[in-house]
Amino acid sequence: MKKLVLGSDHAGFPLKEKIAEHLRGKGFEIIDIGCHNGDSVDYPSISAQLAQAVQCIQQEAPEQTHYGILCCGSGIGVCIAANRYPWIRATEAHDHNTAILSRRHNDSNVLCLGARVLAAELAFTLIDEWLETPFDGGRHQKRVDMMSDPQIDIKKFDNTRMNASNSVPKEMPSC
């Protein structure tokens, strides 16, 4: 049975509960890191717990990709908080394209959903599409590597859009 880590703050709690039921029905083992009721909690703490749980199960079975889903009111707060961790590639998705492209091009491993902006049925569809979409690899792998390693020197990568000083993309004004 494939494991999936699931978490939410108080605003995302009702959606998280529906998602857990949906995914259990599809054969997933759910690791629910909370919250467990509608009492106020801080979403950065939930995102940190999810990141740690994903890392732990990744270490137990490194040959597989392990996923997490976070819910808050908009999906944005938990996404920002989760992306603090270099092994997490969290994306906030609100439509089919963002869910699918986040997997195909960014190899996202955490999906962030907004309980105040998505109906549960749409959330289920986005989750299913996200889980079924493979990473394209190829030219996208270098970019994923650049995001995943906090020690990487981004300047070492060839980027033809850089200016002569190799510091600011041409289309952006220098400060």
- Tell me which residues are annotated as active site: 72, 105
CA distance 135 to 107: 5
User: What is the residue whose two structure tokens read 């976070």?
Assistant: 70
SS (H, E, C) 65-104: CCEEEEEECCCHHHHHHHCCCCCCCEEECCCHHHHHHHHH
